[in-house]
Chains A and B, each alone.
Chain A
Amino acid sequence: MNVPARAVKYRAFMPRNGETSVFDVAGLPVPSVWQRGHEVGRASGRSLCGMGEVTYGGVQSVGLRVQNAEPPPRHANIVDWPPEKDAQKVIAMDLAASAVLCLEADPNPVSARSNASRRPRRL
Chain B
Amino acid sequence: MTTMALSSSFMGLFPCAPTSVQSDAGVASERMLCGTFTEIYGALSLGRLHRAICEGVERVRAECSTPGWDGYGADPVQRAVCSLAETIGLQLPSWLSAPEVGADTDGDLSLDWYSGSDAFSLSISAEGKLHYACRMGQVRTHGSEMYYGAIPDAVLEALLRFHRRATRT
Binds A, one of B37-45, B81-89, B130-138: B130-138
Contact of B135 among A9, A11, A93 (CB under 8 A): A93
The answer to whether A89 and B114 have CB atoms under 8 Å apart is no
A7 within 8 A of B: yes
Give B residues with C-beta under 8 Å from A: 70-72, 97, 100, 102, 104-106, 108, 110, 112-119, 121, 123, 131-135, 140-144, 163, 166-167
Contact of A44 among B70, B104, B121, B143 (CB under 8 A): B70
Closest CB in chain B relative to A108 CB, distance in Å: 20
A94 within 8 A of B: yes
The answer to whether A2 and B71 have CB atoms under 8 Å apart is no
Interface-centre pick from A10, A84, A86 (highest chain B CB count, 10 A): A86
Closest CB in chain A relative to B8 CB, distance in Å: 20
Give A residues with C-beta under 8 Å from B: 1-4, 7, 9-11, 14, 16, 43-46, 84-87, 89-90, 93-94, 96-97
B166 proximity list for chain A (CB < 8 A): 1
The answer to whether A1 and B123 have CB atoms under 8 Å apart is no
Contact of B71 among A45, A86, A87 (CB under 8 A): A45
Contact of A46 among B70, B104, B114 (CB under 8 A): B70
The answer to whether A7 and B117 have CB atoms under 8 Å apart is yes
Q: List 15 A-B contacts (CB under 8 A).
A: A1-B97, A1-B114, A1-B115, A1-B163, A3-B114, A11-B102, A11-B104, A11-B112, A43-B71, A85-B104, A85-B106, A86-B144, A90-B141, A93-B119, A93-B133
The answer to whether A97 and B163 have CB atoms under 8 Å apart is no
A87 proximity list for chain B (CB < 8 A): 133, 142
Closest Cβ neighbor of B129 among chain A residues? A85
Contact of B123 among A9, A43, A85, A96 (CB under 8 A): A85
